[in-house]
Amino acid sequence: MLPEFELLMPRTLPEALEMLAQRAPDVMPIAGGTNVIPDLRGGRYRPACLVNVAGLPELQGVRREDGVLVIGAGVTIAEVLEDPLVAQVAPVLREAARMLASPLVRNRATVAGNLANASPAADMAPPLLVLDAEVELASVEATRRVPLKDFFVHVRRTVRQPHELITAIRVPLPPETSRARFFKVALRKADAIAVVNGAVWVEMEDGVGSREYGVRSREYGVGSKEYGEGRCRAARIALGAVAPTPIRAYEAERALEGRTLTPEVIAEAARLAAEATRTIDDIRGSAAYRRVVTEVMVQRMLAEVGRME
C-alpha cells in the first residue's frame, strides 16, 4: 500500500524550486514515478512530501546548444528513442533507451529520474558516462553542473541535495571520429534489470595506423571486416551493475589510448575493465559470472567500435 504523503503540483520551475527549498529535507521530486511509486509501496523511503516535476515546461525537449546536446530533465526514455538529434549525434543513447524496461515504462520514465535514482544498474548511466555528460542541478540559490562521473556517491546516493532539482543533462557533442556502443546482459531480452551493462567509446585518429595491423575479425566471430584501421586517440569505458555505482574503467581506457585496436590491445583493455569491477552475488547473477561477462562484452564492444567505419 502507498503511505500517505502530500503531493505538490508546481506549474513552473521557479515554483518547483521554491517548494523543494521550503520542504527540504523531507521532500522528493517525482517525475515518471517508475522508481518512486514501487519504492514507496515497498517502504524503501517515506517522504512527507512529493513535488511532481513531470511536465514542467522548462524541463522539456532535446536541443543543441553551443556544441552541447542538452537533454531536458523531463525528457522520457521514449522521447530519447524517437529524437532525431539524439539519433544523429549520440546514437549510443538510443541503443541504451531501446533496452531500458518496456514501452509502457519508457513512456513515463525520464533520463533524469534514471540518474537521480542512482541504481548501480541504471541503463542510461554507462552511455552518458562515456559521453562525458554533466548533470545540471538547480536550486533557488544557484545552478551548478556536476560531471556525471562525480555525481554518483553510493547505491542510490548522489551529490544532489534535497532542495536541488536536475534541470538538464548536458552532453558535449562527440567528435565525428568517435564511435560508441552500449551493451546489456539481463535475464530476459526486455523488461529486465541488467546483470551487467556498459558502454565503450573511442575517438580515433584520422588516417593514422593501417591495415598492416589488421587481424581478421573472424577470429572473434564478429564478422569479416578488419580491425586496426587507425589509432585510438581517447577512450572511455563505463560499466553498470558491477559496483555500488556505475563506474568508469580508467586503467582499461589508458590501455587503449594512443594504440591501434588490435585484438591483443583490446583483450588487455577488457581484462583491465573486468579488474575494475567490484561485483557481488545477487539474485540476478554471481560475482564471478559478472566479471566474466564484463570482460567478454567489453572485448566484443571494443572489437565492434574498432571495425566501425
Residues that bind ligand FAD (CB under 6 A): 28-36, 38, 53, 73, 100-101, 105, 108-110, 112-114, 116-117, 122-123, 160, 165-166, 191, 193
71 or 303: whose CB is closer to ligand FAD? 71
Q: How far is the CB of 260 from ligand FAD (least distance, A)?
A: 34
| Residue environment code for 124-137, b if the CB has 16+ CB neighbours within 10 A, otherwise e | bbbbbbbbbbbbbb
DSSP code for 189: S
Q: Which cell goes with 299?
A: 572485448
Going 89 to 238 to 132 to 213, the CA torsion angle's sign is negative
204 or 242: whose CB is closer to ligand FAD? 242
Residue 94 amino acid letter:
R
Q: How far is the CB of 38 from ligand FAD (least distance, A)?
A: 5
Q: How far is the CB of 64 from ligand FAD (least distance, A)?
A: 21
73 or 242: whose CB is closer to ligand FAD? 73
Nearest-angstrom CA–CA distance, 67 and 36 = 33
73 or 269: whose CB is closer to ligand FAD? 73
| Residue environment code for 80-95, b if the CB has 16+ CB neighbours within 10 A, otherwise e | bbebeebeebbbbbbb
Q: Which cell goes with 242?
A: 558491477
Cis omega (within 30 of 0) on the bond before 25? Answer: yes
Q: How far is the CB of 140 from ligand FAD (least distance, A)?
A: 14
Q: How far is the CB of 151 from ligand FAD (least distance, A)?
A: 11
Q: How far is the CB of 54 from ligand FAD (least distance, A)?
A: 7
Q: How far is the CB of 207 from ligand FAD (least distance, A)?
A: 38
What are the backbone dihedrals phi and psi of residue 124, each rounded to the nearest 5 degrees, phi first? -80, -10
- Give Cα separations from 163 to 19, 27, 108, 280 (angstroms): 8, 8, 23, 33
Closest CA to 303 of 228, 208, 204: 228
Compute CA 297 distance to the chain's CA centroid, rounded to the nearest angstrom: 16
Give the residue closest to ligand FAD by C-beta: 113
126 or 230: whose CB is closer to ligand FAD? 126
116 or 200: whose CB is closer to ligand FAD? 116
114 or 294: whose CB is closer to ligand FAD? 114
